[in-house]
Amino acid sequence: MELIKQSLRRASDMLLAGEVSSVELTEACLRRIERVEPYIHAFLSISAELAMQQARSADQAWADWRSGKVSQQPSPLNGIPIAIKDVLCVADLAATAGSRMLENFVPSYDATASARLRAAGAVFLGKTNTDEFAMGSSTENSCFGPTHNPWNRLYVPGGSSGGSAAAVAASMTFGALGTDTGGSVRQPAALCGVVGLKPSYGRISRFGLIAFGSSFDQIGTLTHTVEDAALLLQALAGPDTRDATCVPNPPPDYLAELSETTDLSGLRVGVPEEYFKAEVGSEVKTRIRAAIEMLAELGAQILPLVLPHTEHALPAYHLIANAEASANLARYDGVRYGKRQSGKALWETYVNTRTAGFGPEVKRRIMLGTYALASGYYDDYYLRAQKVRTLVKQDFDAAFEQVDVIAGPTTPTTAFKLGEKTDNPLEMYLSDIFTLSSSLAGIPGVSLPCGQDANGLPIGLQLLGPAFEEQRLLNIAHVFQQATDWQRRAPVLEN
Amino acid sequence: MLTTEEVAHIAELARLQLSASETEKFREQLSAVLDYVDRIGELDLTAVMPTYSVLSLPSALRADEVRESLTREELLRNAPETEGGSYQVPAVQDEG
């Protein structure tokens, strides 16, 4: 039995039963990383020393509990190796956001998400690759080189959390944190054949997350199974006084409720006709329809649905998210932290720093956002986009009056080739077309593997639910995974 | 289609410097994106209120008390240049 091929849940059960130590799990991951990382480039940094130190502490915590020295049972994450997207701060580890601007930035503090994993006893393997400032759908916008899709190295892993998705798919870690602004957890999860959960906006604190679009940004998880996602979400979710948009109500016990679910009788699944338009690949359509058929076989009632403003979601998203990005990234001026490219005077230093520090996609987005907010354009672009956001949200509100969950493809196509879309930003943006609208509405979504195309590239089924109904999504997804075995398929990598 | 002057103006607002070839490339790419986003112009939005946030949380207030925070050294650790425990920047105006 190969340790690294186990689910996070299974590894956790083995730690609890004393069948394996955290040091063994961590060493297995580090060995795997050493072997396959040269082919994948999922990581921007590996924190082997910290990981081994945390693993030894975790083993000590299990030992202290077993001997009765400590009465509190350790967290199910105690001793579990995890990878963290490089837009989240972990104290004393570089946090680059995939940008030259932050190449040498070493935060002095943990993001709340990192702190909660640390407190639970998780082991930090390293920081994963991302499109620069999480802006992209392929990790090709990383200033440190792209990540390769473990199912086929010539293809992108998706993005922006492509490093996290690829690390999980290639069994280099038991789980990973990503972030999702317009689909950046779900889209790479779909393209890499893993589970990607984006919780509701406000479910997980954003403190210590390098900001992109602050009214969208949400931390999410990449794992092999839905159970694994539930375990991680449990540790991450919950109020935080350091993020005023993090909701005060405590999360339910996701895993406990999960295990009670057996079938889907009485569940109403809505299938939006807009999610099966011409631009969706035929193999994707076939596999998604088969997955929805499977939900019906498990007892669910399938209902047709319309989300009329779907085609307006992408324009609205890009105007608002990039307007927010242009404001958020104004802080990179070479004064307090990050890169500085000195000029003769302060003004010139700002311009030189930003010109040298940002890559082309980040510059494009800052420019678009600046334009949308500029005097004379604000009403036509930014304000209109915020009104469209209301319509998109109302579409979902109306849909959830009729159905309990919405099902469709996560992405219109399977993974595309590296370099295929880098010169055509608009075409790249279209790969997030089915994830953007739910991001505008702030509702939760999960992508889970449900098939492969003729080239063996994974296809993801997306489930969307009402705000703060992560439990419902997890339950349905879990029942689906019990009935199928897509999550057990793994790519064959070079030795 | 954006003009070269518009692209240059936006770049200046964003404190970015673009070469002539970058300006031309951005002009084409941003124009294509703007053509696409212009489809929100079709909608009648007169009676629609904007959604700036999907949450309707009350303002989060807390007591104003002294608490532990990062030290000066920790804060300055990532500064490009410091002097005497402060951030150091070039002169605001070119003295040259």
Q: B65 to chain A, minimum CA–CA distance in Å?
A: 14
| Contact check, Cβ <8 Å, B26/A319 | no
Tell me if A309 sits within 8 A of A388, measured CB to CB. yes
| Contact check, Cβ <8 Å, B32/A426 | yes
What is the structure's pLDDT at B61? 84
Closest-CA residue to A133 (of A112, A113, A166, A159): A159
Q: Is the pLDDT of residue B94 over 80?
A: no
In the structure encoding, which two tokens stand for residue B43, read together?
Answer: 């909608």
Q: Does B90 touch chain A (CB under 8 A)?
A: yes
* Positions of E strands within chain B: 82-83, 86-87
**Which of A245, A316, A358 is nearest residue B40 as measured by Cβ atoms?**
A316
Tell me if A95 sits within 8 A of A86, measured CB to CB. yes
Q: What is the pLDDT along chain A (495 residues), one digit of tens a residue?
A: 699 999 999 999 999 999 999 999 999 999 999 999 999 999 999 999 999 999 999 999 999 999 999 999 999 999 999 999 999 999 999 999 999 999 999 999 999 999 999 999 999 999 999 999 999 999 999 999 999 999 999 999 999 999 999 999 999 999 999 999 999 999 999 999 999 999 999 999 999 999 999 999 999 999 999 999 999 999 999 999 999 999 999 999 999 988 777 889 999 999 999 999 878 999 999 999 999 999 999 999 999 999 999 999 999 999 999 999 999 999 999 999 999 999 999 999 999 999 999 999 999 999 999 999 998 889 999 999 999 999 999 999 999 999 999 999 999 999 999 999 998 888 899 989 999 999 999 999 999 999 999 999 999 999 999 999 999 999 999 999 999 999 889 999 864
What is the structure's pLDDT at B62? 84
Burial, B21: exposed, middle or buried (Cβ in 10 Å; 0-12, 13-18, 19+)?
A: exposed
Task: Please identify which of the residues A7, A137, A184, A437 carries the catalytic annotation.
Answer: A184
Tell me if A147 sits within 8 A of A163, measured CB to CB. yes
**Which of B33, B70, B91 is nearest residue A425 as measured by Cβ atoms?**
B33
Q: Is the pLDDT of residue B95 over 70?
A: no
Task: Please identify which of the residues A160, A200, A326, A431 carries the catalytic annotation.
Answer: A160
Q: How far is CA A163 from CA A105, A110, A284, A490, in A?
A: 19, 20, 23, 16
What is the structure's pLDDT at A389? 98
Distance (Å, whole) CA A21 – CA A16: 9
Question: Any catalytic annotation for residue A171?
Answer: no
Q: Hey, of A249, A312, A371, A382, which one would you mutate to test binding to chain B, going by the most B CBs within 10 A of its CB? A: A371
What is the structure's pLDDT at A423? 87
Of how many residues is chain B composed?
A: 96
Closest-CA residue to A337 (of A109, A89, A98, A103): A103
Question: Any catalytic annotation for residue A437?
Answer: no
Distance (Å, whole) CA A142 – CA A165: 15
What is the structure's pLDDT at B50? 96
Tell me if A88 sits within 8 A of A130, measured CB to CB. no
Tell me how crowded residue B68 is: count the other CB atoms within 10 A of its CB. 5
Helix (H) or strand (E) holding A176: strand A175-180
DSSP secondary structure of A109-121? S--HHHHHHHHHT
Closest-CA residue to A181 (of A55, A336, A369): A369
B62 contact residues in A (CB cutoff 8 A) = 241
Place of tokens 């080239």: A455
In the structure encoding, which two tokens stand for residue A208, read together?
Answer: 């210590």
Helix (H) or strand (E) holding A24: helix A22-40
Q: Is the pLDDT of residue B93 over 80?
A: no
In the structure encoding, which two tokens stand for residue A144, read together?
Answer: 């440190």
Tell me how crowded residue A241 is: count the other CB atoms within 10 A of its CB. 12
- pTM (two decimals): 0.97
User: Which residues, 6+ apart, have CB-to-CB distance to A325 below 8 Å?
Assistant: A133, A135, A212, A213, A365, A366, A369
| Contact check, Cβ <8 Å, B90/A349 | yes
The conformation of residue A149, written as its DSSP 8-state character, comes to B
What is the structure's pLDDT at A91? 97
In the structure encoding, which two tokens stand for residue A406, read together?
Answer: 């919405």
| Contact check, Cβ <8 Å, A108/B70 | yes
In the structure encoding, which two tokens stand for residue A374, read together?
Answer: 């500029």
| Contact check, Cβ <8 Å, A326/B14 | yes
Q: Does B38 touch chain A (CB under 8 A)?
A: yes
Kindly report the backbone phi and psi dihedral angles of residue A195, in degrees, each rounded to the nearest multiple of 5, phi listed first.
-90, 125
Q: Is the pLDDT of residue B96 over 70?
A: no
Distance (Å, whole) CA A142 – CA A346: 28
Helix (H) or strand (E) holding A388: helix A384-402
Q: Hey, of B4, B12, B16, B39, which one would you mutate to test binding to chain A, going by the most A CBs within 10 A of its CB? A: B16
In the structure encoding, which two tokens stand for residue A98, read together?
Answer: 């995939």
Question: Any catalytic annotation for residue A215?
Answer: no
Q: Does B93 touch chain A (CB under 8 A)?
A: yes
What is the structure's pLDDT at A495? 47
| Contact check, Cβ <8 Å, B57/A343 | no
**Which of A201, A340, A354 is nearest residue B16 as measured by Cβ atoms?**
A354
Distance (Å, whole) CA A99 – CA B31: 25
**Which of B17, B60, B62 is nearest residue A355 as measured by Cβ atoms?**
B17
